[in-house]
Amino acid sequence: MANLIDQDQQWLINSLNATLDTNQQARSFAEASLNQAALQPGICLYHLCNL
């Protein structure tokens, strides 16, 4: 059975992967996006726990 993930979880996975990108601009954008998301109560923690 395939793993089912929603769009928010996919965004989180993509953003975390982008923090490993060799392109500094891509990394910085991903880090800024994750920081912004972290300011939203419960969003990132919820998705990290449900990956």
43, 37 Cβ separation under 8 angstroms: yes
pLDDT band at 48 (very low <50, low <70, confident <90, very high): low
2 belongs to a structural domain = no
* Choice between 40 and 24, residue whose per-residue pLDDT is larger: 24
> pLDDT per residue over 4-39, tens digit each?
778 888 888 999 999 999 999 999 999 999 888 888
35 belongs to a structural domain = yes
Dmax of the chain from CA atoms? 37
Q: Domain containing 36: what range?
A: 7-49
Count of domains forming the chain: 1
Helix (H), strand (E) at residue 37: helix 24-38
pLDDT band at 1 (very low <50, low <70, confident <90, very high): very low
41 belongs to a structural domain = yes
- On whether the pTM is more than 0.85, the answer is no
* Choice between 41 and 47, residue whose per-residue pLDDT is larger: 41
